[in-house]
């Protein structure tokens, strides 16, 4: 509990923050069995105007926004790392099995550069989704210059070139 709210006020704030309905939150926090719907609405409206309640709600909204931004940034960073590994700019750990003869083998881990253009394209598309380059569903949304991440990815790596590079495990692109 913060801002010196009562237990019922805090309960109201948390429920309101979760559901967005002041009357429902009021019913959750207070005894309302004998109240008319209009009375519940009036009391919940008054409670929303209380300075301490508004401050607590604003704090929760700020905290949620920070956490949401951090999560999106973390996802973008993860996809950027996948992209860097997929185009061969970054080494990734690989397990190497070396057959030593007589049915035995030795394994060790080694950082290797490799290309996986399908993963690179998918990472670009996922980053595009996270930054809003797409609207709902899979339809792409172009910016003012007609640019979209999906179009870029598909045009940049045409299927035959991507397949050729994938099979040769070589990439000479500097992005």
The pair of structure tokens assigned to 149 is: 């991440």
pTM given for the model: 0.45
* pLDDT of 13: 93
Burial class (CB in 10 A: 0-12, 13-18, 19+), 34: exposed
**Per-residue pLDDT reduced to its tens digit, 37-95:** 999 999 999 999 999 999 999 999 888 888 777 677 787 888 788 888 777 777 776 67
**Per-residue pLDDT reduced to its tens digit, 95-130:** 777 777 777 777 767 666 667 778 878 888 887 777
* pLDDT of 109: 73
**Per-residue pLDDT reduced to its tens digit, 139-163:** 444 445 455 555 555 555 555 555 5
| Residue from 79, 81, 78 nearest 89 by CA | 81
Task: Report the distance separating Cα 30 and Cα 48, nearest Å.
Answer: 14
């Amino acid at each position: 509990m913060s801002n010196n709210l009562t237990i019922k006020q805090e309960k109201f704030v948390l429920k309101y923050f979760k559901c967005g309905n002041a009357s429902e939150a009021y019913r959750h926090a207070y005894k309302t069995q004998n109240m008319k719907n209009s009375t519940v609405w009036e009391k919940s409206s008054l409670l929303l105007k209380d300075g301490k309640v508004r401050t607590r709600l604003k704090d929760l909204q700020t905290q949620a926004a920070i956490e949401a931004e951090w999560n999106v940034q973390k996802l973008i960073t993860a996809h950027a790392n996948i992209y860097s590994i997929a185009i061969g700019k970054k080494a990734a750990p690989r397990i190497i099995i070396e057959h030593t003869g007589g049915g035995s083998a030795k394994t060790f881990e080694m950082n290797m550069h490799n290309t996986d253009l399908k993963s690179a394209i998918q990472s670009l598309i996922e980053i595009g989704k996270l930054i809003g380059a797409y609207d709902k569903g899979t339809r792409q949304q172009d910016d003012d210059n007609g640019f979209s991440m999906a179009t870029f990815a598909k045009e940049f790596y045409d299927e035959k070139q991507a397949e050729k590079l994938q099979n040769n495990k070589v990439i000479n692109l500097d992005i």
